[in-house]
Amino acid sequence: MHSPGEPPPTRRLIAHLDMDAFYASVELLRYPDLRGLPVVIGGGRRHQPETLPDGSRRYFRLRDYTGRGVLTTSTYEARALGVFSAMGTMKAAQLAPDAVLLPVDFDEYRRYSRLFKAAVREIAPRIEDRGIDEIYIDLTDVPGALADGGRAAGRRLKAAVREATGLTCSIGITPNKLLSKLASELDKPDGLTLLGFADIPARIWPLAARKVNGIGPKASERLAALGLHTVGDIAAAEPAFLVRQFGANYGRWLHDAAHGRDEREVVTHSEPVSISRETTFERDLHAVRDRATLSGIFTELCVELAGDLARKGYASKTIGIKLRFDDFKSVTRDLTLPAHTMDARTIRRAAGECLKRVDLSRRLRLLGVRAGALARLADLVAPAAAPEPAPEAPAAPGELPLFAQAGPPPGR
C-alpha cells in the first residue's frame, strides 16, 4: 500500500466529540428503569408512558405500534437486535417487538445539547457546531494538549460532559477533522481514541469506504463495483485511476481522504441559512375533510417557528411551506415579505398565502413551515425592520379557514 503521507507542517490537534445514542440516553435519564433494555425513540404523543397509581410506569411496546413512522434513534440494546435510526417503525417492530417505544422530545434534547456544549467551551472554546449531538474541537492551543496527544484534555472533556449532563460521549483526537470523526466511532460507547498518521494503516484502512464522511451511498456503490470496498483499497488505488473514474476534484479528494489528509479548519461560527418546523402525520390528512386538524397543526408550526426565531435572535423576510403528499411527491412555495418578521401571525398569514398556490386535492402526509432570508435582530436597525411584538396566542382553527380552497375529498 501507499505511504499514508506526511503530517502537515503545522502540527494540529483536532477532536471530534459525539454523544452516545444521544436522544435515547436523554430519555434514560428520565426513565432510569429502562436502562439495559431495548428502547427506541420515534413515537408520537400517544406513546407517552403512563404513570400507574403505585408510581410504576406502563410503556408502549413496538409490537402494538400501527402506522408508518420512522425511528429517530435507539439504545445500544435495540441496535444489537438490528434496530437503527431512520428504520421504519413497523419493520423495527418485527425485529424487536418487545422494545419500548418512547415519543420524541426535541425541546429536551436541545436543552442537553446546550449543556454539553457549554461544558466543552469552558475547557476548549474553539468549537465547530455540527448538530445537536456532535462538535469538532480545536485543542491545538489548549495548554498541555500537544504534549500527550490530547489524552488528558480528552479525559477532561469527557468528565465535564458527564458532570454537566449525566451522559457519556465518545471522542476521537487526531491531527485533522476527517480522521477525528472516524476515530470517534472506533471505540463507542464512552470511548477516547487517539490516532496519529502512523496509525492509519492499522486503524483506518480496514474500515468500509462508506465510513468516511463524504463517501455517500452512490459513491460507495461505484467504489464497490470497481473492487474498492475499504479505505485501504482506495488508498492503494492509483490517483490517476480515481480521477478517471470520479473526476478530477472528487478523485483527488478520495485519494487524500484515504491517506488521512485534511486541511479544513475548525469553523467556530456560521450563520444559519434558514430555520424550519415540520411534522409527518401518522395518517394521511385531506385539506377539506381534515381542515380543522390541519389548520390547528399549521398554526402550531408557525407559532413554534416564531419562537425559534426569537430564541435564536433572528427575523425572516422569506416565509415558505413544504408539503408532501400521499404519493410521496413534495412541493414548496415561498413568499418574500416587505420587511423582516419574527411575528407568529405574520408568518401564519404569509404561509397561508403560499398554501393558496398549491393544488390540495391529494391527501397530505407532511406539512412544514420555513423562515429564510434571515437577519440578526441586532442588525435590523431601521424602524421598518424592528422586531415585531411577541407572538400572540394563535386563533382558533375556525377563524383561519386554511385548506378551504381545495377540491372535493376523494371517496373513502
* Residues making up the chain, counted from first to last: 412
Q: How many Cα atoms sit within 13 Å of 99 on the Cβ side?
A: 33
Strands 169-174 and 192-194: parallel
For the chain, what is the largest distance between any 2 Cα atoms, rounded to a whole number of angstroms? 72
Contacts of 131 (CB under 8 A, 6+ apart): none
- Whether the Cβ atoms of residue 95 and residue 81 lie closer than 8 Å to each other: yes
Cell of 6: 506526511
Distance of CA 150 to the CA centre of its chain: 27
Q: Which residues are catalytic?
A: 134
b (16+ CB within 10 A) / e for 188-215 = beebbbbbebebbbebbbeeebbbbeeb
Non-local (6+) Cβ contacts of 354 within 8 A are 319, 320, 321, 333, 334, 335
Q: Which runs of consecutive H residues, i.e. helices, occur in 266-339?
A: 291-312
User: What are 4's three cell numbers?
Assistant: 499514508
Contact 96, 37 (CB under 8 A): no
Alpha carbon of 124 to those of 23, 144, 160, 191, 286: distances in Å?
24, 12, 11, 19, 51
Of the candidates 295, 304, 281, the residue with the CA atom closest to the CA atom of residue 406:
295
Residues 6+ apart with CB under 8 A from 8: 175, 176, 263
In angstroms, rounded to a whole number, what is the distance separating the alpha carbons of residues 368 and 320?
8
